[in-house]
Structure 1
Amino acid sequence: MNALKEESKDNISRKEVENELEKFIEYGVPIDQAKQTLIKKYGGVAVLTSSTPGERIMIADLKPNQPSVKLLGHIIAINPKEVTVKGENRTIYYGILGDESGTIPFTSWGSINVEKGDVVEISNAYTREWQGAVQLNFGDRVQVEKTDKNRLPKDAFEPKELKVNELRSGIGKVDVTARILEINSHDADVNGEPKKVFSGILADETAKAQFTSWHDFNIKKGDVFRITGGYVKSWKGIPQLTFDSTASVKKLEKSKISKDDLESNKMPLHVLVEKRGALDVQVQGTVIDVRAGSGLITRCSECKRVIQDSKCSLHGKVEGITDIRIKLVLDDGTGAVGAILNREVTERIIGMNLNDLKKMKQDDILEMINKLLIANKIILKGNALGDEFGTSIIAQDAKFVDINLKDEAEKLANELEDLI
């Protein structure tokens, strides 16, 4: 309040200022930036030391929680998104910015007059940390100006050749060679016009990923393509390669990537936790916990959500359907993840079906599951999803690891000899 002019103090209350400040913070504006904006709004003299034009920063050098940064880059992707804050609808924009050092995802909390392919000079942007990565944000103080394409070196626009397991959210201008495992199409509304969108799963010998194509490249299941000029988003940690008519999509010989090379990707748990998600992975570890929510459960007959006392949060009083599942924690010594085993996988690993389990008490079922799984090694196959609570595997298969005691004893003896 001290920075406000004397005449402005009589016209506003502390409560009003606090309410305004709270709104800015809810929209993700850094507190220092929000304060400066309110000072100017109410007639004060803002201290603009943080917005004084400074040296350009390379994207690769950005760190979390920088209050004011200046960048030069090109817009690799930009899309609108509707969000709701305290019941109010708001349009924000998200995309990917690139320069000669790398790429970064950005969010603009207001309208910006830029398009894909524009080279822009950005002042007074700020950074935050999101899920362990730097996120670039454009608040109300940001200045985004289009500039000449020649201000960026040629290599800023060159695609980067990557394997599928190297795809990460926020990477732009990628060059990927992969086999198409699944493809389907659906109609989408783009600026009021219908457009056919193609999506599916692609893979190479390192991993699998989702893809979305906003152009009909005549992509067929089983074919191998080199896709140049796409960018990467993610959903729950699973990478998604996105490309449109500006990309180059070249069909190659199927022998370039053999179908036999596309087995489930075996992955240590610390790598999976770092990636936050993946398609069709195989992990191995020791079961260290069987979590609450395991055993017999009841699902809503309409939406299949787990319910209590025959009441669904969406459908009210319903006729419940009995089901079985296991929720566990797996540890391989390098990291730990949660896992959910559905009815089919649960029946297979415990050797009993749901009808048999219905005849047992819940406590007896849980005791059996604990005795069977705790401290035992298992192999899980499935999709791994990541969120703010961590990484979980939705298991599609599970089996116990066969341990050869003689081989294990020999390995241990060899390790001990190396230590002596």
Structure 2
Amino acid sequence: MRHKALLTALAAAIALTACTVGQQQPTSQTGGTAKKEISFLVFETPNLTPQVWDAAIKRVTDKYPDITVKKLVSPTEDRVSYAKQLLASGQFPDVMVAVSPAGFAESGAMAAFTPEELKDFVAPGNGAVNGKVYQLPANTQTIPVVYYNKDLFAKAGIAAPPKTYAELLDAAAKLKAKGITPFVIGGGKDPFASTLLWTATLATDLYAKTPDWMAKRRAGTVKFSDPDFVKAAAKFADLAAKGYIDKKDISRDYAATEQAFLDGKGAMYPMGNWFAAAGDDPKRKPDWEIGAFNWPGDDGATVVPAFTGGGLSVSATAKHLPEAKKFALAYTLDKTNLDDSVHNDGLYPAIKGYTPPSDTGTVFKLGYDLYQQGLRDGKIVQAFGWEAGDDGLLPGVVDKWRAGAQDLITGGKTVEQVTAALDDEWSKAS
């Protein structure tokens, strides 16, 4: 009975969150065939509104009038879990955006893209699962950039962004002494918003030293309970223990977290470069200046944690598989869609020959310049918790990692307990 109830609830959810973009056309009098409908799973944020998705979809259906699109909206930012629910209920979307292929690809649920289909991408092999690419490597995201409130820094007597980890701790202490929350975080229904500081410490203390650490973890030669991973986790937990993170903020969802920073409720906001869309939005831009810096290491060395991927995937069992792939590629490579992804979501399209529009905002340029400098210096590393395919965590482990982040913030579990739980979850997933 519980299984039947779940299916009924899922069907109701889909009915509430689905709409068709492009009107169904009758068969033409000249012998043409009816349109082929595909379903497309998206997610909404303050930047990615229903209007943004509808316009992007329409650009493709205008180009390919044989395709009509049924838009499905994930009820939360966690579209991976929602996609899993839809797969279990036999309602897996034909096309989906930003759904990690981990687990789906291995089970045969997603269709692989061919080298010819990937010829226009800068990093065509990124996110591969057993050598095959199931998610278009459409854009690069730096995770996190540390955005900061220059007014609050000045109020606390901080003249410049910290260059070392010791200076970062000193800045946090000065902010706290002035009654200012040093770091803005979130969580709630969007648990990823609790993890960004941990991704940052893992970049400087794990990946900077061992860039192929995830490959070693898959080979079984390293563990989460090893010293480098534990050190990064301990740094993260220590920020909460010192009161530099407000523990109650893990109940705040992503949209509210973003708005809290824009409202001046904290000094530093570690977040993906997509925050630039909000920071540059004239309707939301604060009356104080936003700055940005890379998370510093102990010795002052910095790296830029980045992930290239995040694009569209296609169901292997889509009723109209050729059309689903055609839509996914056309949607991704459309110049206006690419420009809009920069404006609406602050992304760095990883498409050959693409250059961001000249009218990007100042906050976008802050993050983009940090990324370009990282490229020039050879300082790009993986963004832990965001990797995909063979470079990423095994299915299910990312959820345990996000839960562990919240446990470290609240003090509900020790570093040792959290890292041991990750090793246990890895063994189960293996």
TM-score where L is the length of structure 1: 0.20
Q: Which has the higher helix share?
A: 2
Q: Which has the higher strand share?
A: 1
Q: Between Structure 1 and Structure 2, whose CA radius of gyration is higher? A: 1
TM-score where L is the length of structure 2: 0.20
Larger RCO of the pair (alpha carbons < 8 Å, separation 6+): 2
